[in-house]
Amino acid sequence: MPQRIILQVEGITKIFGGLRAVDDLSFELFENEILGLIGPNGSGKTTVVNIITGFLKPESGHVKYLGEDITLKKTHEIVSKGIVRTFQIMRPFRELTVLGNVTLGTLLFEKDVQKAKDKAIEILKKVKLEDKKDVLCSDLATPDQRKLELAKALALNPKVLILDEVVAGLSAQETSMILELIKELRDKSNISVVIIEHVVKAVMKIADRIIVINAGKKIAEGKPKDVINDPTVIKVYLGEKIRS
Amino acid sequence: MQKIKIVKMRFAYTFFISLLLFLVALPLVVQQPYILHVIIISMLLAYLCTSWSFVSGYARQVSLGHSVYVGIGAYSTALLYYHFGLNPILGLLAGIVSASAISILISVPSFKLGLRGPYYTFSTLALAEFFTYLFIGLRDLTGGELGLALPFKNNPFYLQFQGKIPYYYIMLSLLVTVIILANRIQNSKFGYYLFAIRNDESAAEACGINVFKTKIMASLLSAVLTSIGGFFYAIYYMYVTPESVFGLSLSFQIATTSLIGGATSWIGPTIGAIVAVPILEVTRATLGGKFIGFPLLFYGIVLVVMGRYLPGGIASRLFRDKERVR
């Protein structure tokens, strides 16, 4: 079934000093799809996220959202359109409680603070963080901070959700809880997801399609099963065959 | 835990209402001009500090040049009255317009260029110094360092009154207005956004917040309110000099007093002024001219102690907000 392209990345290149962090990279994200983006450390994954969300401007190439060029748009404009990210290095607002943090997200489409808080509590229930709603973010342990990052992103009512290492540091149980949640969101709320991970197994489980990048270049693309058997991928990234 | 925090919030409201009733009733009992004067200048400082906190506390864009807006408000009022005999209300309007213009002129380029932290602070400081010397230099217009003494005509339409009490109530209503505004802002979307910016500007952008616009709005609001404080200074003292209204010492006093009280709380700056002004006044009255540097020493010591034990200011300990720490 041919699907509508929701996000299109066309030949983006980003150079830091002498390093081509992202090198002529192109890919597309279909509506209602979960796309895995994997690659070894320093392969440019987070840079791609930064370019899509307007934190960085590429040297060349374009990012298109539903056909509209958003490459040079500001981050807050991109977020308002529905492209929302989480941060690999968690960035909660430290002086706010968990509820305060998520409320900041829900306020984007809700002027009334009380209503925004109610919406925020709904989201906290989804990620099972409701019991910690009055905890200060600087007092939160890593797994809960990961969940908070996700809750903050969901609060912004995303159409495209970009998850940068959202399960890193979580236990197996918590990981599957979050992955289930992401799947459920995709099924129920018609969200498209880009999931960037080190934990390849995690991505394998839920991604419909996987793109592998190395040194800023796309080296493989396809169904999870095909990608892990691709010899180039095994060589640069996995080192050995993964038994699945 | 939660129960304690809610009690604290209620305590803040109780404190504010008792303070308000006390200040409204006080002139009925106490009529000594000196005491009224001390309270008026405490209220003025509380007003200026609260106005400052919108941009420098909530959003942590620390300005050490807020005397610019006090000076603009005061001089707009003074100059139009002195040279053209215009009503101070017109001076107030002129002050608001000029303060807005200056605020835009300084904040748009600084925030566009992404000046953060100390860089922004120093640019505001330089602006205040520039205006001090500009107004000293424009001798024919401003009377230079000696300033302008405004002729007193005892005309209530020109907001000139016998005695302190009318000024007292004007200042009190200004202060109450700004405190209520601070409270409303703190519990609004705008307040939340400022708080996000204070914590992490990039993460705030990622929350869909237009950081640039929000910062400009906060500066503008803060500048306008501060210039109204300057207007009050002019009609109350009837005497302005560049040093007294534009000078750095006023800028520092506004910043330090807010920090002592708690610059992210709607009631914090007021508490700071309540604590600071009477202590300074009493020491000045008792020590006389013996220790001229005492106020600075006092602020220095208090800031060091606060920085170590109470970095969020007095209000952060007394009344903690439910969703926020400081």
Looking at residue B166, what is its pLDDT? Answer: 94
Secondary structure element (H or E) that encloses residue A30, with its range: strand A19-30
pTM of the model: 0.89
Residues B177, B16 contacting (CB under 8 angstroms): no
Q: What's the number of domains chain B is made of?
A: 1
> The tokens of A25 are what?
């990279």
Predicted pLDDT of residue B288: 67
Tell me the average pLDDT across A103-118. 92
- Alpha-carbon distance B4 to nearest alpha carbon in chain A (angstroms): 12
Tokens matching residue B174:
């200004």
Of B5, B199, B322, the CB nearest to A93: B199
A2 pLDDT band, cuts 50/70/90, is low
Residue B311 within a domain:
yes
Q: Which CATH number fits domain A5-238: 3.40.50.1820, 3.90.380.10, 3.40.50.300, 3.40.50.2300?
A: 3.40.50.300
Is residue B326 domain-resident?
Answer: no
Residue B324 pLDDT > 70: no
pLDDT tens digits for A27-57? Answer: 999 999 999 998 888 888 999 999 999 999 9
Can you tell me the mean pLDDT for B270-287?
84
* Reported ipTM: 0.86
> Do the beta carbons of residue A221 and residue A63 sit within 8 Å?
no
Q: A76 falls in which pLDDT band (50, 70, 90)?
A: very high
Q: What's the CATH number where B114 sits?
A: 1.10.3470
Q: Would you say residue A8 has pLDDT above 60?
A: yes
Residue B325 falls within a domain, yes or no? no
> Which pLDDT score is estimated for B117?
82
Q: What is the share, in percent, of chain B residues with pLDDT greater than 90? A: 62
User: How far is it, in rounded angstroms, from Cα A49 to Cα A83?
Assistant: 10
Full domain range(s) for residue B7: 2-318
The neighbour count for residue B160, using CB atoms within 10 Å, is 18
Chain B hits for A55, CB-CB cut-off 8 Å, are 202, 205-206
Distance (Å, whole) CA A83 – CA A77: 9
Q: What is the mean pLDDT of residues B272-285?
A: 83
Question: What is the reported pLDDT for B204?
Answer: 93
The bridge status of strand A34-38 relative to strand A192-197 is parallel
By the 8 A CB rule, do B48 and B114 touch? no
Question: Cα(B179)–Cα(B231) distance, rounded to whole angstroms?
Answer: 18
| DSSP summary character for residue B208 | T
Evaluate if residue B2 carries a pLDDT over 50: no
A28 vs A91: which has the higher pLDDT: A28
Of B140, B111, B110, B143, the closest CA to residue B126 belongs to B110
Write down the pLDDT at residue A81.
Answer: 94
**Chain B interface, mutation test: which of A73, A76, A114, most B Cβ atoms within 10 Å?**
A76
User: Looking at the domain assignment, is residue B74 inside a domain?
Assistant: yes
Interface test with A, best of B6, B199, B200, B212 (most A CBs within 10 A): B199
**Cβ-Cβ contacts under 8 Å, B192 against chain A:** 100, 103-104, 107, 113
B189 shares contact with chain A (CB less than 8 Å): yes
How far is residue A49's CA from residue B212's CA, in Å, rounded to a whole number? 22
What average pLDDT does the segment B3-16 reach? 69
What pLDDT shows up at residue A239? 63
Tens of pLDDT, residues B50-89: 999 999 988 889 999 999 999 999 999 999 999 999 999 9
Q: Where are the domains of chain A?
A: 5-238
Predicted local distance difference test score (pLDDT) of residue A240? 55
Whether B324 sits inside 8 A of A95 (CB atoms) is: yes
d(CA B212, CA A76): 10
